[in-house]
Amino acid sequence: MRKYEELAAKIIKNVGGDENIESLTHCVTRLRFQLKDEKKANDAIIKNMDGVVTLMKSAGQYQVVIGNHVPDVYDEVLRQAQIKTSESTGNATKKKMSAGDIVIDFISNVMGPILPVLMASGILKGLLAILQFAGWIDQDGGLYALFSGMGDALFYFFPVLLGHTTAKKLKMDPFVGLIIGAALMYPTLQNVDLNIVGIKMNVTYSSTVLPVILTTLLASVIYKFFNKVIPDVIKTFIVPMLTILIAVPIGFILIGPAANFVSDAIANGIMSVYDFSPILAGIILGGTWQILVIFGIHNALVAVAIVQMMSGQPTPIFALTTGASYAQLAVVFAIWLKTKNKKLKAIALPAWISAIFGVTEPAIYGVTLPRIKYFVISCIGAALGGAYIGFSGILVYQMAGMGIFGFPGFFGGEMAIPTILMHFFIAIAISMISSFVATYVLFKDDAIETDNETHSAQSEEMVSAPIKGKIIPLSEIKDEAFSLGVLGKGVAILPEEGKLYAPVSGVVTTLFPTLHAIGLTADNGLQILIHVGMDTVQLQGEGFTAHVKQDDHVNKGDLLLEFDIELIKARGFSVETPVVITNSNDLKKIEPTNSSEVEVADNLLATEF
């Protein structure tokens, strides 16, 4: 039996079956589905599936986070669902996407397939620089020339690969895109004076990004037009011929020079911000990088960095974010050392090991994000490392590997390799030591997480009604994460007034930035989540007012939040408010009230450990 056969089968079933899959790609840790109808997918089941780290929805993609073995799961899903990697089924229900989502989705599909081999080529170039510096290889020898060609090949012929992936994304014959890339950078046309229909020009498109992407965009329109009007008997070769004949000259003469100008402007703009204050740039970019990763929008900055490097300029983007993965590593390593909870220790071990190689999703989703304080610590550590990178002035000159394999990317420019390595490892040390010490000092297992609970085995807690309103069984809530009890047992309340009070005495462990949900840990270890309305996260905090902040200790009956019921309804959202015990599995008893309506402070849930 194949190793991931069962996991792949469950994923296919719960995304709505193979007939609901429009297309599938993957990145370093995620399966990226385009589904015809996301409503057919069982989000809660997928998110809690063994072998799945978490589920994300971003840029119009249904992203199932797997971890380091995602290529194997991807291959198995392709095999079982009989998905062809070169095309989608073409029958998807069009989903509304914002302009930003469209751009990010496009970048992910165009750049994503190339990134692994791009990083591999960067590592080869870095290793060659080390071998030359150490005197182990002669720069004038044939072996050096061969290895140099291996490392440089992808970067020189980058437009060819981009033509292929762009054409695939645009549902055009990918070999037409490949030929467009090859034609734009044909050797005898690069850096030579040309007179084309009276237009004098001297351009080069080798190692560029935008010219081939924009030219292929034009080609896709031409290709689809001719594919409709050319008779079937000759379209196989006539459509590609006419597409290339029209698109390449326009791309070479008009689109390419304009795209190169835009590329230079982007690179110069990034560098001008960096030149204003490298340290400030490091703090901002380093500190927010993991947040960008969570939402999947870091790929837009990755594309900008690649544009910079391909245009011959070093990039500060990859340099300033160097500390992010190491800060995550240090935080999770500290938690792994200190926790007594066997389940958390089992999750943390592979998470910090994968972070060594720059893969931080298991650490983020499995360990730090559910314990938000430690995620913030990792962001601060990354910001400190980024500040030092900005201070040191080292930049990334070429694509390299992730994590520990990222250092070859810094080799270039006038700075000596030993100096570069010194700054690189100092930055890592700053990120790791600050994150590790803060986590090790502050981390404490939740009382209910430890193997030897300190609270009484018969500890009871009466959870009071936090809102005045009508009682609704959780099973009637439309959101399956609540109705199926995935997030825990409890009840829902249809509120009659927009005030939310503390149902227990304890600590505010989670207060979402959008203020639509709040998590409390009672003094005896009971964990409670109160979610005001359904999908109200989309209000971005509008209509909500917080009277507490995260880590505050509150007493039962204290006012926590106020919310505008009429505004929520007017925006088209339900105000049904689940009150759930998120650590239900640790309790012997959870008994809801028999009443159909409650006033604030009425008995709502009787619990017992």
Nearest to 499 by CA among 560, 425, 573: 560
Alpha-helix residue ranges (DSSP H) falling in 359-518: 361-363, 372-392, 417-442, 480-483
E strands present in 208-348: none
CA dist 406 and 384 (Å) reads 18
Which residue out of 26, 164, 516, 531 is catalytically annotated?
A: 531
- Please say whether the beta carbons of 500 and 547 come within 8 A: no
- Please say whether the beta carbons of 316 and 279 come within 8 A: no
Residue 262: enclosing H or E segment and its boundaries?
helix 256-276
CA dist 543 and 514 (Å) reads 10
> Phi, psi (5° rounding) for residue 488?
130, 170
Which residue out of 27, 164, 298, 423 is catalytically annotated?
A: 27
CA dist 519 and 515 (Å) reads 11
Q: What is the dihedral of CA 430, 434, 437, 439, to 10 degrees?
A: -130
Beta bridge partners of 517: 531
Is 531 labeled as catalytic in the residue annotation?
Answer: yes
- The vertex-289 CA angle with 288 and 295, nearest 5°, equals 95
- Please say whether the beta carbons of 292 and 301 come within 8 A: yes
Nearest to 578 by CA among 506, 505, 495, 511: 495
- The vertex-77 CA angle with 71 and 79, nearest 5°, equals 105
Q: Which two tokens stand for residue 444?
A: 């404490």
Nearest to 332 by CA among 361, 368, 383: 368
- The vertex-497 CA angle with 496 and 498, nearest 5°, equals 130
- Please say whether the beta carbons of 604 and 598 come within 8 A: yes
Q: Which two tokens stand for residue 309?
A: 């490097």
Q: Which residues contact 462 (CB under 8 A, 6 or more apart)?
A: 603, 605, 606, 607
Taking each helix axis from N to C terminus, what angle separates 372-392 and 323-338, rounded to the nearest 10 degrees? 140
Q: Which residues contact 94 (CB under 8 A, 6 or more apart)?
A: none
Is 69 labeled as catalytic in the residue annotation?
Answer: no
SS3 content of the chain, % helix, strand, coil (to 5): 55, 15, 30
CA dist 512 and 223 (Å) reads 48
Nearest to 561 by CA among 582, 592, 583, 539: 539
The one-character DSSP state at 315 is B
Three-state SS sequence of 160-202:
HHHHHHHHHHCCCCHHHHHHHHHHHCCHHHCCCCEEECCEEEC
**Would you name the residues annotated as active-site residues?**
27, 531
